[in-house]
């Protein structure tokens, strides 16, 4: 997956100030940033695999309609079941990714609560990295979790419906939705890229 950096990222300074040794909360936030990135890469790989599988399901459905002989229908049913099982496995892996994202979000909120306990409602006065306060990491994490949660719901719907699609047009809609991921807005990629810049995973 190629992550594009947008000119709208205003929270990241272009100053090339060195970060101190990364420990404590800073270490955790930096590790979380790397985890978000790795989970997105795994999602994209699964999305590619799922697109191939959904395409196979659509092709089997269409071929079954075009050749309704008994032997062909038996073969199509077995093949359809096999492809649906593959898609179910992909969805399970995507569900595991979103569950890990939820844990990352909980970790971020835990760090915010810790800072409020240590430094008061305003939190830490000095940024852990370049310019962001600990609270500012909440926004990109929230955007990413919301994006992937909504995309997962769409893919779960496709899983349940694509093998029973009554028309070829609707089948192609499901296939297109899987490929283009309509809930995967550019904002989510920008949010991740900004977080990677702030934590030093990307050079300023």
Name which of 5-14, 123-132, 137-146 the model is least confident about.
5-14
Phi, psi of 184 (to 5 degrees): -85, 75
Q: Which residue has the tokens 């270490």?
A: 27
Is the Cβ–Cβ distance between 76 and 64 less than 8 Å?
yes
Confidence class for position 123, pLDDT limits 50, 70, 90: confident
- β strands within 67-163, DSSP E: none
Category of 200 on φ-ψ map: left (φ > 0), alpha (ψ -120 to 50) or beta? left
C-alpha to C-alpha distance for 108 and 114, rounded to whole angstroms = 10
pLDDT of the residue at 19: 43
CB 106 within 8 A of CB 35: no
Going by the DSSP 8-state scheme, the letter that residue 19 receives in this structure is P
Q: What would the mean pLDDT of 38-55 be, rounded to a whole number?
A: 98
pLDDT of 25-41, one tens digit each? 899 999 999 999 999 99
3-state helix, strand, coil in the chain (%, to 5): 75, 0, 25
First-to-last alpha carbon distance for the chain, in angstroms, is: 20
Residue 193 and residue 2 in contact, taking contact as beta carbons nearer than 8 Å: no
pTM across the whole model = 0.83
pLDDT value, residue 4: 38
For residue 122, pLDDT over 50 is answered with yes
Q: What is the CA radius of gyration of the chain?
A: 22
Going by C-alpha positions, the residue among 94, 78, 74, 58 that lies closest to residue 167 is: 58
- CA–CA separation, 169 vs 140, rounded Å? 36
Evaluate if residue 130 carries a pLDDT over 80. Answer: yes
């Amino acid at each position: 997956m190629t992550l594009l950096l947008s000119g709208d990222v205003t929270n990241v300074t272009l100053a090339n100030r060195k970060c101190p040794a990364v420990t404590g909360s800073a270490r955790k936030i930096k590790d979380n940033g790397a985890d978000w990135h790795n989970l997105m890469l795994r999602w994209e790989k699964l999305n590619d695999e799922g697109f191939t599988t959904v395409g196979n399901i659509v092709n089997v459905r269409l071929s079954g309609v075009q050749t309704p002989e008994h032997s062909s229908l038996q073969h199509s049913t077995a093949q359809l079941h096999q492809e649906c099982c593959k898609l179910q496995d992909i969805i399970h892996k995507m569900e595991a990714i979103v569950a890990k994202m939820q844990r990352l979000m909980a970790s971020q909120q835990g760090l915010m609560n810790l800072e409020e306990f240590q430094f008061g409602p305003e939190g830490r006065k000095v940024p852990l990295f370049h310019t962001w306060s600990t609270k500012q990491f909440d926004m990109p994490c929230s955007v990413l979790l919301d994006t992937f949660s909504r995309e997962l719901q769409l893919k779960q719907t496709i899983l349940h419906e694509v093998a029973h699609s009554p028309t070829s047009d609707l089948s192609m809609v499901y296939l297109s939705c899987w490929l283009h991921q309509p809930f995967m807005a550019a904002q989510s990629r920008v949010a991740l890229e900004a977080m990677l810049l702030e934590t030093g995973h990307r050079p300023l």
